[in-house]
């Protein structure tokens, strides 16, 4: 994952998929901003929305499911009810049975990113709970490739 300094420069245009979320009164905590647990809920929700809408995932009947094995987030600024959040996602690493997403949360009408998360799924066989021996399905891979962003070369970052 990139450094915090680099993550703070993220823009909506860096992400090929976006979903909006209207914050709710109960998303706020006693400090009058959205609670960290809600951010994690939203990161999971935008990823799974993409998988269902664009990658052929149908959780109740799929032979494979996506198991979250890692997540972390860098928080830069707060968001609070009644704001609307823009949840943005891209794939930054695509393996045989795993995928690493970068998810960003922006507030509508504000350019600066509020939080950036890394979220890793491993596709497992429903029958065994073990990583899919043959990897993720081709439909899944094709959908994920549409939002894959190749890492910048070291020379282009200098």
Q: What is the pLDDT of residues 61-73, one digit of tens each?
A: 888 889 999 999 9
Chain mean position to CA 19: 11
Name the residue with tokens 């350019």.
Answer: 111
Q: Which two tokens stand for residue 24?
A: 């709710």
- Cβ neighbors of 155 (< 8 A, separation 6 or more) are none
Predicted confidence (pLDDT) per residue in 58-104, tens digit: 888 888 889 999 999 999 999 999 999 999 999 999 999 999 999 99
């Amino acid at each position: 994952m990139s450094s915090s300094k680099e993550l703070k420069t993220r823009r909506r245009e860096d992400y090929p998929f976006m979903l909006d979320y209207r914050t709710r009164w109960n998303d706020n905590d006693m400090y009058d901003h959205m609670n960290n647990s809600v951010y994690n809920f939203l990161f999971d929700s935008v990823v799974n929305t993409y998988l269902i809408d664009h990658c052929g995932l149908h959780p109740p009947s799929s032979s494979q499911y996506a198991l979250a094995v890692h997540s972390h987030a860098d928080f830069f600024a707060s968001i609070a009810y009644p704001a609307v959040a823009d949840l943005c996602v891209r794939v930054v690493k695509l393996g045989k049975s795993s995928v690493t997403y970068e998810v960003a949360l922006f507030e509508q009408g504000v350019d600066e990113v509020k939080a950036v998360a890394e979220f890793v799924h491993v596709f497992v066989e429903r029958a065994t709970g073990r990583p899919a021996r043959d990897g993720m399905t081709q439909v899944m891979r094709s959908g994920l490739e549409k939002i894959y962003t190749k890492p910048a070369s070291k020379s282009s970052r200098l």
